[in-house]
Structure 1
Amino acid sequence: MVVGRLSRLTVGRDAEARVDRAARRHGWKRVARNYTVRGGELDLVYRTADLLVVVEVRYRSRDDYGSAVASVTPRKQRRIVLATRHLLAKHPEYADLAVRFDVVGVDDSDDFNWIENAFHAE
């Protein structure tokens, strides 16, 4: 079955909402959702006591083409880092925090594969 663009957006937003609820249950404060700049986007960004956590949410209904987490290519990582640098420049109140990049794979069974420190900025 081919899923239309609108349906993919709806499914992706639903996956992001589920991850957002889980993060907030852990006491994380959301500072951005779908933060978009030319050349990149951040799905979810949180502040913890001493970290700024940038979360990339990847939904996959099937893993025929690889896992959701594996779909965060080096190119995608660079785009996330670019958007993070923009966010930090625009919000200097976060500049002193360490930044962690997490990737969360979400599947149809509502299981999360949450990878902390999935990649690092270079």
Structure 2
Amino acid sequence: MDMTTKAEGDAAEDRALAFLLARGLRLVTRNYRTPGRGGGEIDLVMRAPDGTLVFVEVRRRARASHGGAAASVLGVKQRRIIFAARHYLMRLGGPPPPCRFDVVAVEGAQVQWLRAAFDADA
């Protein structure tokens, strides 16, 4: 039975979440979206054991051709994630905790975790 693209993306996100939970991160929220058009979305907001708030982009590809899943998180996508992260932090109030942007690439049976894949200066 063929899965829809959304179902495949949701399954990849579930795998990424399970992968990160098994490595000691704690889920804060999932699929955080900014209001309005042209905003951004963060697939997973996690808390690392050291207290760092981790904004996670999950990318799925059937194969690693064309640079693979991790290579697809570039300019515009990074800026939208950063925009959404800033919006999320504003809602928290107070001084922001340490933060980083990770990418979890799900390619076939493989899961690759890229810590600090990009920064807010992107």
> 1:44: which partner in 2?
44
Q: Superposition pairs for residues 44-83 of structure 1, below 5 Å? A: 44-48=44-48, 49-83=50-84
Alpha-carbon distance between aligned partners in 1 of 2:24 and 2:93, rounded to the nearest angstrom: 22
> 1:11: which partner in 2?
8
> 1:120: which partner in 2?
119
Which SS does the other structure have where 1:65 is aligned?
Answer: helix
Which SS does the other structure have where 2:65 is aligned?
Answer: coil
Which SS does the other structure have where 1:56 is aligned?
Answer: strand
Q: Is the 8 A contact 2:89 2:96 kept in 1?
A: no
| TM-score, L = length of structure 1 | 0.87
- Alignment-mate amino acid for residue 41 of structure 2: E
> 1:107: which partner in 2?
107
CA drift at 1:51: 0.2
Q: CA RMSD in A?
A: 1.6
Alpha-carbon distance between aligned partners in 2 of 1:31 and 1:15, rounded to the nearest angstrom: 18
For 1:29-78, what per-residue CA distance to the aligned partner results, in whole angstroms no more than 9, with x for missing partners? Answer: 21111101141000001112320011100000023322100000111000
Q: Which moved more, 1:69-78 or 1:57-66?
A: 57-66
Alpha-carbon distance between aligned partners in 2 of 1:13 and 1:69, rounded to the nearest angstrom: 17
Which SS does the other structure have where 1:97 is aligned?
Answer: coil
Q: Is the 8 A contact 2:64 2:107 kept in 1?
A: no
Which SS does the other structure have where 1:27 is aligned?
Answer: coil
Unaligned runs of 5+ in 1: none
| TM-score, L = length of structure 2 | 0.87
Percent identity at matched positions? 41
Alpha-carbon distance between aligned partners in 2 of 1:92 and 1:117, rounded to the nearest angstrom: 23
How many positions carry a matched residue from both structures?
Answer: 116
- Change in 2 beyond 3 A, CA 1:61/1:30: same
